[in-house]
Chain A
Amino acid sequence: MKILIVEDEKKISAFVKKGLTEAGFTVDVEHNGDDGYRRATHESYDAIVLDIMLPGRDGLSILSSLREKKNPVPVILLTARSELRERLDGLNQGADDYLTKPFYMEELIARLQAITRRSGGEGLSLLQVEDLVMNLLTREVTRGATAVELTAREFNLLEYLLRSPGRVLTRTQILEHVWGYNFDPQTNLVDVYIQRVRKKIAPNGEVDLIETLRGVGYRCRKDG
């Protein structure tokens, strides 16, 4: 999976590149709009992460030029300033998703997986850890042969964990992903929901797939 990052802030592009590489993506980075546009038109990418405020061409102008050339590459916009209007403009000009700075890497990875799945097809719509299988299209979850009934929030929570097996997710990360923009973090919500999901995905006393890291967060057990 090949991703282009166009972001002028070098520290941000550095941790984004590192995070995406660790998550199994192949990553190219450009630091200004002109170079970014040239690269985006000359090479083929599975997705582009585009900052809006850039030296040279700005992100929105790169996006609209790509769309004029009928280039359907999925684009995630990174916005910083007046998020509402930029989001509106970005979505109008054909962005597939947007993230407001500051964003969590795990969130960016989840979004990238979601939009590449959208363009990638059926095979990517299944998440599996050991005998727990989650179908993102039909929203069905099974543990072994037993079907598991989850509420929408529980489903989102489990999906988020299953997307990054073996990686630590803090409670604030989970809260922001599952509950949306949360202005006043209520992290004990996460604890309660994790307990519920834990119970539901181990209906017959199977192995606990969700590991608690005290004072940190939660981690999904990795296969093998």
Chain B
Amino acid sequence: MLIRSFRVRFLLWNVLLTGAVLIAFGALTMGLSYRGGLERLDSDLQENARREFRNARHANFREGATPLWRSEYGGGPEQVPLALLIRERVSTNVLLQSEAWSSELSASEFADPPLSQQASSLENREGPFGRRPPPHEDREGLFGHRPPPPELEEGGMPPPPFGGDSPQPGEKFEPPPLEKGPFISLKLADGDWRFGVMGQRDLTVVIGVTLQPLQTQMRQLAQVLLIAFLPGLLLIAISGWILTSRAMRPVRVLTRTAEGITARGLDQRLPLTREAAEFNRLSEVFNQMLDRLEKSFRQATRFSADAAHELKTPLAILQGQLEESLRDSQEDLAHQQLCASLLEEVQRLKGIVRKLLLLSLADAGELRVQREAVDLKALVGNAAEDVGILAPGLTVDVQADSRVTVPGDPGLLAQVVQNLVGNAIKYNRESGWIRLELESLPDWVRLAVSNSGSPIPADAQPRIFERFYRGDSSRAREVEGAGLGLSLSREIARAHGGSLVLEQSDGEGTTFVLQIPLVPQDPHV
């Protein structure tokens, strides 16, 4: 779908882009906080693994005990069970498997973490830790080395990151390093779990915890983001609408002014504004264009007026001398015929010049009407009488109100009526009809001239009032006239404050309607 309003398009783009940015931002936030949560979880898993190693190496390693999750994770007093599996590195002998260890899981899925460089180097550097037995030493001995940390016996409190293995006062002791294996997320029957594999010397711990609390947190975060997203978008849409309407205001002013500029009002200019300097350039360019347009329009108008005027004097001489010559040659019929024929052509030229002059006056907005009471009914009656003579084959039907006079110029209005009736004769079919309806309305006089000609093609209808337009060329050749008649008639109607329109043209006939106001009005363009 094509959206035509710049404003709506701008708004849609605005909302779309802002929405995309917000969504990207939300997704990034979610992603980052999920990753942060996982990292925290992983380091907690590591701590728990450390603790479980310690427990395993101490005496309080009890088969079947339920190791609990010791972390802030889960956010509350409720602690979640840990899935825990401790096995020997080499023999893969399972030493401990917690209750939460799902039956779906098999210990072999989790490969032992590689021995870290640090761990192997520590093994080689036995010197400083002389009292520590090597990893392949007897496990009992190993366990016997270290007493359980006191905090663990109190229970509940998670071990401080490295505090669990903190050396005794005065003793230089470092906890055995953890070899970290991969942390992976697994989908189990009861939801997603996070597992880590860690090794410490001869033991490997697979430790896992449910991801549900983290996922709940993420859902809550998503809800918060979503709740902020929609009103935010709405706010942006509203502010975008207000902004565009403010930004479009100078354009609206320009449009309104430009609308008022017509061919008759070319002297108007767009105002320059102070608050929207960016648009001033546009106004200036527009005004310069109007300057040029006005100048060339005035030149063209003056040219046709001057040309028409200049033509009149030679025409007057031509006509006067032909008339004189006609009078002088009283008995020379051939010469008289020549003069009469030339006079007829001069008459035709006069008609064209007069029409051009009137049209150029109309273009310059100076076709002013000197009004007197014009008996339209008499004009129409005369025209109907002429039809009977010019085209005896046509049926003429005149319907007129009893007395119809309008304020107007008798010569010009007669021209309009003659033109309309003349066209109704020209563009008619043989033994067709012409109907003249003259009615006096409260404010207007309406003259409808209809005939039975073939309909004017739809694509030609808007053009018939154009100058020198002659309809289709095949028809035009049969008919006399320069194609100025309808154009001039419309100008005359407008100069009287009235109108001339093609009301219909179809199989039932063609109707032109002339309306002249009963109260003199200023011409409307």
Tell whether A and B belong to one assembly.
yes
- Is B357 a contact of A83 with CB atoms below 8 Å? yes
Binary interface encoding of chain A residues 133-168 relative to chain B, with 1 for a CB under 8 A from any of its CBs, else 0: 000000000000000000001000000000000011
Residues of chain B within 8 A (CB-CB) of A84 are 361, 367-370, 409
Residues of chain A within 8 A (CB-CB) of B323 are 15, 19, 104-106, 173
- Is A153 a contact of B350 with CB atoms below 8 Å? no
Complexed CA–CA distance, A189 and B485 (Å): 19
Binary interface encoding of chain A residues 106-129 relative to chain B, with 1 for a CB under 8 A from any of its CBs, else 0: 100000000000000000000000
Residues of chain A within 8 A (CB-CB) of B321 are 11, 15
Complexed CA–CA distance, A189 and B421 (Å): 14
Interface residues on B, range: 35 or more
- Is B343 a contact of A172 with CB atoms below 8 Å? yes
Residues of chain B within 8 A (CB-CB) of A82 are 305, 357, 361, 366
Q: Does A1 contact B (CB under 8 A)?
A: no
Within 8 A of B (CB), among A161-201: 167-168, 170-173, 175-176, 180-189, 192-193
Q: Does A101 contact B (CB under 8 A)?
A: yes
Complexed CA–CA distance, A102 and B316 (Å): 4
> Of B321, B323, B368, which is in contact with the most chain A CB atoms at under 10 Å from its CB?
B323
On whether A181 and B354 interact (CB within 8 A), knowing A15-B324, A168-B336, the answer reads yes
Q: Does B318 contact A (CB under 8 A)?
A: yes
- Is B414 a contact of A11 with CB atoms below 8 Å? no
Residues of chain A within 8 A (CB-CB) of B333 are 213-216
- Is B309 a contact of A81 with CB atoms below 8 Å? yes
- Is B414 a contact of A180 with CB atoms below 8 Å? yes
On whether A16 and B320 interact (CB within 8 A), knowing A176-B347, A184-B480, A217-B340, the answer reads yes
Beta-carbon nearest neighbor of A9 in chain B: B313
Binary interface encoding of chain B residues 67-99 relative to chain A, with 1 for a CB under 8 A from any of its CBs, else 0: 000000000000000000000000000000000
Complexed CA–CA distance, A9 and B319 (Å): 14
Residues of chain A within 8 A (CB-CB) of B346 are 102
- Is A188 a contact of B389 with CB atoms below 8 Å? yes
Contact of A101 among B316, B341, B348, B411 (CB under 8 A): B316
Complexed CA–CA distance, A205 and B351 (Å): 39
Beta-carbon nearest neighbor of A23 in chain B: B327
Complexed CA–CA distance, A16 and B316 (Å): 11
Q: Does B315 contact A (CB under 8 A)?
A: yes
Complexed CA–CA distance, A183 and B361 (Å): 17
Residues of chain A within 8 A (CB-CB) of B361 are 82, 84
Residues of chain B within 8 A (CB-CB) of A104 are 319, 323
Contact of A216 among B340, B354, B410 (CB under 8 A): B340
Complexed CA–CA distance, A103 and B321 (Å): 11
- Is B411 a contact of A180 with CB atoms below 8 Å? yes
- Is B389 a contact of A192 with CB atoms below 8 Å? yes
On whether A103 and B316 interact (CB within 8 A), knowing A187-B344, A215-B340, A216-B340, the answer reads yes
Residues of chain B within 8 A (CB-CB) of A88 are 368, 370
Beta-carbon nearest neighbor of A18 in chain B: B324
Complexed CA–CA distance, A86 and B80 (Å): 109
- Is B343 a contact of A173 with CB atoms below 8 Å? yes
- Is B422 a contact of A216 with CB atoms below 8 Å? no
Main secondary structure of the interface of B (DSSP, over half): helix
- Is A85 a contact of B368 with CB atoms below 8 Å? yes
Q: Does A66 contact B (CB under 8 A)?
A: no
Residues of chain B within 8 A (CB-CB) of A18 are 324
Residues of chain A within 8 A (CB-CB) of B485 are 183-184
On whether A80 and B313 interact (CB within 8 A), knowing A15-B321, A153-B382, A182-B418, the answer reads yes
Within the complex, the shortest CB–CB distance from A140 to chain B, in Å, comes to 21
Beta-carbon nearest neighbor of A107 in chain B: B323
Contact of A189 among B347, B355, B389 (CB under 8 A): B389
Within the complex, the shortest CB–CB distance from A154 to chain B, in Å, comes to 11
Complexed CA–CA distance, A23 and B147 (Å): 155
Binary interface encoding of chain B residues 349-364 relative to chain A, with 1 for a CB under 8 A from any of its CBs, else 0: 0110011010001000
Complexed CA–CA distance, A81 and B317 (Å): 16
Q: Does B415 contact A (CB under 8 A)?
A: yes
Within 8 A of A (CB), among B345-400: 346-348, 350-351, 354-355, 357, 361, 366-370, 382, 385-386, 389-390
Residues of chain A within 8 A (CB-CB) of B319 are 102-104
Beta-carbon nearest neighbor of A186 in chain B: B390
Q: Does A223 contact B (CB under 8 A)?
A: no
On whether A11 and B317 interact (CB within 8 A), knowing A84-B368, A181-B415, the answer reads yes
Complexed CA–CA distance, A213 and B386 (Å): 23
Within 8 A of A (CB), among B470-517: 480-481, 485, 488
Complexed CA–CA distance, A218 and B327 (Å): 12
> Of B333, B340, B346, B351, which is in contact with the most chain A CB atoms at under 10 Å from its CB?
B340
Within 8 A of B (CB), among A1-35: 9, 11-12, 15-16, 18-19, 22
Q: Does B264 contact A (CB under 8 A)?
A: no
Residues of chain A within 8 A (CB-CB) of B390 are 186, 188-189
Contact of B320 among A22, A102, A214 (CB under 8 A): A102
Within the complex, the shortest CB–CB distance from A3 to chain B, in Å, comes to 16
Complexed CA–CA distance, A176 and B411 (Å): 12
Known: A82-B366, A173-B323. 15 other contacts (CB 8 A): A9-B317, A15-B321, A80-B309, A80-B313, A168-B327, A172-B344, A180-B414, A181-B411, A184-B422, A185-B344, A188-B390, A189-B389, A192-B389, A215-B337, A216-B336
User: Which residues of A come within 8 Å of B, CB atoms?
Assistant: 9, 11-12, 15-16, 18-19, 22, 80-85, 87-88, 91, 100-106, 153, 167-168, 170-173, 175-176, 180-189, 192-193, 213-217
Could you name 8 residue pairs across A and B whose Cβ atoms are closer than 8 Å? A15-B320, A81-B312, A82-B361, A170-B326, A183-B418, A184-B481, A184-B485, A213-B333
3 interchain residue pairs of minimum CB distance: A102-B316, A15-B320, A215-B337
